[in-house]
Chain A
Amino acid sequence: MRAVFRLALLQARRDRGTLAAWILGIAGLGYAAATAVTTQFGEDNERAALISVAAASPAFLFLRGLPDGISSGAVTFFQGYSFTAVLAGLMSAFLVVRHTRGDEDQGRFELVGSTRVTRVSSLYATLLLGTCANVVLALAVAAGFIGAGLPAQGSFLAGMAVGAVGLFFMAAAALVAQAMPSARSANGTAAALVGAAYLVRGAGDALGTADQSLLHVTAAWPSLLSPIGWGQRIRPFTEADMLPLLVIGAGTAVLAGVAVALRRSRDLGASYIAANESGPDRAGAGLASMLGLAWRLQRGGLASWCIISAALGAVAGGLGPVVRDALEGNPSVAELMSRIVPGDAGLIDLFTTAMLGISGVLAAAAGVEAVLRLRAEEAEGRAELLLAVPASRLRWLGGTLAVAAITTTAVAASAGASAAVVLALSQAGGSGPGTVLAAALAHIPAALVFPAVTALVFALASRWSSAVGWGALAVALVLGQFGELLGLPTWLQDLSPFRHSSAMPVEAFDPEGALLMAVVAITASAAAARLVRERDLAA
């Protein structure tokens, strides 16, 4: 037991900066959302107007969650819960993979495993650290809510609802780490699970039933498949219910137990999903250049990203008509909807637009991830081997950046194509396939800004590239989702590249914004190419 505590302290020591940033960031987001609600929507009638519009808009329900009354707490929880829960899940998943499969990859585990500890001591330590992190996170979120003036009891419950989701994905990631052969694949799978939990909850909420007052929506069954959906059912600011907390806790315990059992019976470095151990003894013609290498390293990831975004596109195209049909059964919703967006197609378009907005974020994330391979190549020493040949750093960076741009484009295109096909097959109306595809492609210029900026940071100071790359995406997301709610000044909101994307098909295509973003992306890329020659390669 002592060994477990010592290992947990060691892991906490390694993680202190990272975890502090995550926890403060998530709690800060909660605080900002709560402050926005209490200041911007101070009156009951203002909140009632907001909630009833949301209740009648499936896109809103999909992205945010379930409206549940008009108290400041309830409105905050509706606005902010899904996002904070996703962030808590990601924080916990990355934490666990870092200390389990990540340490095995790097060979550190062997060193620790040779001391007087059991095979599972380190996993216990990681679960202990993850639990502590989520308890602190729950308290921090609660403190943020209370600080913004929300009732204390509800704030604590809301914090627990966030922390519980974190705990669930901590255990899920522990299981994933046993199964996957590398930290990279484990992180990807765990993050995809978090994303899936969000999407499944979104589908359940979008298909939910609004009551006559349009102030409460009850989720449909898919929400029960998602821990985020369960967390939402705690309803901390209205009729608090602890049962969902028990359900999440039970799920966490089962997953963690299985992960421990698997770790106990597994060889060090082995995985239940085995990676290919052998392959061709000769390189194909494609692997003869920096560009070829970049493509080879990225193509697997590219395929995964495209599958995810195609799935999102299918939801975008397929769910719209279903949602519309469901809404038509509720006369008060239909009445409100017809006032907000006239016409049938309007509702579907609204939904498609919101969904394709997410695909733009996915496209940006895929591009950032592709560029960050440069950082891994450098930090792990492969760049040294690669740059000792007669090829310039420019070609090295350029090859990866080109592949990142292809990745971003392909991810956006596959979301658009899949949405267009599914929507056309449903014959439910809405925009034509060409317009839907164009709507997805319209996000590409803004999405490209993120890999370009990541490359620029890599060229200047590579060890910051990961933090700045992902941080910029997170900030843009928050600005986009919460900027108006928070009443932020326009110039600040305009910092987010996505603000310059056209929200097609609801809006018309704005060539100016797209051109501006393309220029920013190209300028940042050119600066990166210029500056990468100017610094020492990291040892």
Chain B
Amino acid sequence: MTTDATPVISTSQLVKDFGRTTALAGLDLSVRSGEVHGFLGPNGAGKSTTLRILLGLIRPTSGTARVFGIDPWAEPVRAHRDVAYVPGDVTLWPNLTGGEVIDLLAGLRGGADENLRRQLIDEFDFDPRKKARTYSRGNRQKAALIAAFSRPASLYLLDEPSSGLDPVMDAVFRRHVRRVTADGATVLLSSHILAEVEQLCSRVTIIRSGVAVESGTLAELRHLTRTRFRVTSPASPELLSTWRGIHDLRVDGTAMEFDADAADLGHVLEALATAGVTGITAAPPSLEELFMRHYGGTAAPGRGSQKDQKSQVL
């Protein structure tokens, strides 16, 4: 696996206005070679707009975007040379069959790997003889995924790719993401499905209202959140509530539930040991929590807003 210093994708202060609405308000995004980068955000956060800029389909109002160091607006053909793309909302040519669509799209990229094509059609349980007008949303998505994965690329841009897939097909999709990254490819995976990002991605950028509010490895992001404890302890709840770093304490007889800040974990564990416990579970913070923290708040987005929000919560 390569880990070049130069990022495969880099955007700096990317702004995109559509008339009076601002889709991107200064987005910084950096995707390193060989990683699966999760691009996480709610509907309307600007994920698709970013991908469309990275493909050179739309021009940024200001700021820069580079793919393999190339400006995709100025030189789309060069930038696309080794890119596979699956849009969020796949529409196909109603009177072409699925197989024809796959051959067309893979062919325009240089031609499908026959073995891969066969394997993908088989694994996705896809009927390539049907006209595209008869396909459901999931099947249209499969056609685009098969076209994307049937020819090796260095960069895969996937916009909410599994939103129409059932769990079995989702597993096939994940397997192929792992396959291409094992071969050294880079993947940018936009999603609002946290489980998908947690399972696949090594690094995550969280976008909200057109700006990146958080970026880092999953481990780094987890540091920013709390661990949930469930303990059974003879210690009085009043005592616990005085501990540093304890939040949202709920008591049910001797069972207690609370969250603890990452920074105060050591302190909390020491205190628990002193107080004595008869049962304990500690769950790692889910991205869900991280997500809710960023999107649940009402603070205006922008630089420094995450700090403001945190202080509100704390």
Taking Cβ atoms with an 8 Å cutoff, the residues of A that contact B are 182, 275-283, 287-290, 293, 296-297, 300, 380-382, 384-393, 536-537, 539
By the criterion CB–CB under 8 Å, are B59 and A283 in contact? no
A536-B57, A536-B58 in contact; A287/B100 too (CB < 8 A)? yes
Q: How far is the CA of A380 from the CA of B80 in the complex (A)?
A: 22
By the criterion CB–CB under 8 Å, are A280 and B93 in contact? no
Q: How far is the CA of A66 from the CA of B260 in the complex (A)?
A: 92
Closest residue of chain B to A284 (Cβ to Cβ) is B100
Q: How far is the CA of A391 from the CA of B78 in the complex (A)?
A: 9
Query: Taking the complex as formed, is B55 at the interface, i.e. its CB lies under 8 A from any CB of chain A?
Result: yes
Query: Taking the complex as formed, is B40 at the interface, i.e. its CB lies under 8 A from any CB of chain A?
Result: no
Closest residue of chain A to B81 (Cβ to Cβ) is A390
- Complex partner residue of B87 from A281, A296, A300, A384, CB under 8 angstroms: A384
Q: Which residues of A contact B87 (CB under 8 A)?
A: 381, 384-385, 388
Taking Cβ atoms with an 8 Å cutoff, the residues of B that contact A are 48, 52, 55, 57-59, 76-78, 80-81, 83, 85, 87, 89-100, 102-105, 107-110, 128-131, 133-134, 144, 157
- Complex partner residue of A278 from B78, B85, B108, B129, CB under 8 angstroms: B129
A276-B131, A287-B107 in contact; A281/B91 too (CB < 8 A)? no
By the criterion CB–CB under 8 Å, are A275 and B109 in contact? no
- Judged by DSSP, the binding face of A is loop
By the criterion CB–CB under 8 Å, are A279 and B107 in contact? no
Nearest chain A CB to B314's CB is how many angstroms away? 39
By the criterion CB–CB under 8 Å, are B100 and A382 in contact? no
- Judged by DSSP, the binding face of B is mixed
By the criterion CB–CB under 8 Å, are B104 and A287 in contact? yes
Nearest chain A CB to B147's CB is how many angstroms away? 9
Nearest chain B CB to A269's CB is how many angstroms away? 9
Q: Which residues of A contact B81 (CB under 8 A)?
A: 390
Q: How far is the CA of A386 from the CA of B133 in the complex (A)?
A: 17
Give 24 pairs: A residue, B residue, CB < 8 Å, sorted on A: A275-B133, A276-B95, A276-B131, A277-B130, A278-B97, A278-B131, A279-B96, A282-B99, A283-B96, A283-B103, A287-B96, A287-B100, A288-B103, A288-B107, A289-B108, A293-B104, A382-B91, A384-B87, A385-B90, A387-B76, A388-B83, A388-B85, A391-B80, A537-B52
Closest residue of chain A to B89 (Cβ to Cβ) is A381
- Complex partner residue of B104 from A280, A288, A393, CB under 8 angstroms: A288
Closest residue of chain A to B133 (Cβ to Cβ) is A275
Going nearest first, the 7 A-B pairs with the smallest beta carbon separation are: A283-B103, A281-B99, A388-B85, A536-B58, A389-B108, A281-B128, A381-B91
By the criterion CB–CB under 8 Å, are A537 and B144 in contact? no
Closest residue of chain B to A392 (Cβ to Cβ) is B77
Q: Which residues of B contact A380 (CB under 8 A)?
A: 91
By the criterion CB–CB under 8 Å, are B131 and A275 in contact? yes
By the criterion CB–CB under 8 Å, are B57 and A385 in contact? no
Closest residue of chain A to B130 (Cβ to Cβ) is A278
By the criterion CB–CB under 8 Å, are B97 and A279 in contact? yes
Q: Which residues of B contact A276 (CB under 8 A)?
A: 95, 131
Q: Which residues of B contact A279 (CB under 8 A)?
A: 96-97, 100, 129, 131
- Complex partner residue of B95 from A275, A384, A390, A537, CB under 8 angstroms: A275
A385-B144, A388-B80 in contact; A280/B129 too (CB < 8 A)? yes
Nearest chain A CB to B78's CB is how many angstroms away? 8
Q: Which residues of A contact B91 (CB under 8 A)?
A: 380-382, 385
Extra 8 A-B pairs, beta carbons < 8 Å, given A385-B144, A387-B55: A278-B129, A281-B129, A283-B107, A287-B103, A388-B55, A390-B78, A536-B57, A537-B57
Q: How far is the CA of A333 from the CA of B75 in the complex (A)?
A: 69
Q: Which residues of B contact A389 (CB under 8 A)?
A: 80, 105, 108-109
By the criterion CB–CB under 8 Å, are A537 and B58 in contact? yes
Q: How far is the CA of A182 from the CA of B157 in the complex (A)?
A: 32
Nearest chain A CB to B84's CB is how many angstroms away? 8
By the criterion CB–CB under 8 Å, are B85 and A390 in contact? no
